[in-house]
Amino acid sequence: MRLQAKIDEAAADGIITEALRNRAHDEIRVLGNDVLHDSWMVISDEDVDAAYHYTQRILEAFYDHRDSVEKILIAKKRINAPKSEDPGAS
């Protein structure tokens, strides 16, 4: 799955805001595409700082509220529910 779709799904699922989705496209995805697919170019410190900042915010959205994010992703069938461990089974 392409990064664009992953960003859009995170927003559609309510894990990141629409504003953060837009910034992820503008500051992370576009810069990444430029670096990967265009001719060599110097990337400014400001562009690197913005990409770092918004990447950090996305990671925080997923991991600061991991339990609720996991429940959303399970309900949307994006991940499988963890198998419960039965301490009495052996």
For the chain, domain boundaries: 3-75
In DSSP notation, 9-34 reads: HHHHTTSS-HHHHHHIIIIIIHHHHH
How far apart are alpha carbons 11 and 68 in whole angstroms? 15
Task: Please state the pTM of the whole predicted model.
Answer: 0.73
Q: How remote is the C-alpha of 36 from its chain's centroid?
A: 19
Confidence of residue 85 (pLDDT cuts 50, 70, 90): low
CB contact at 8 A, 76 and 13: yes
Q: Tell me how far CA of residue 54 lies from CA of 29, 31, 64, 79, in angstroms.
A: 11, 12, 15, 24
Model confidence pLDDT, tens digit, residues 6-65: 999 999 999 999 999 999 998 888 888 777 777 887 888 998 899 999 999 999 999 998
Phi, psi of 63 (to 5 degrees): -100, -25
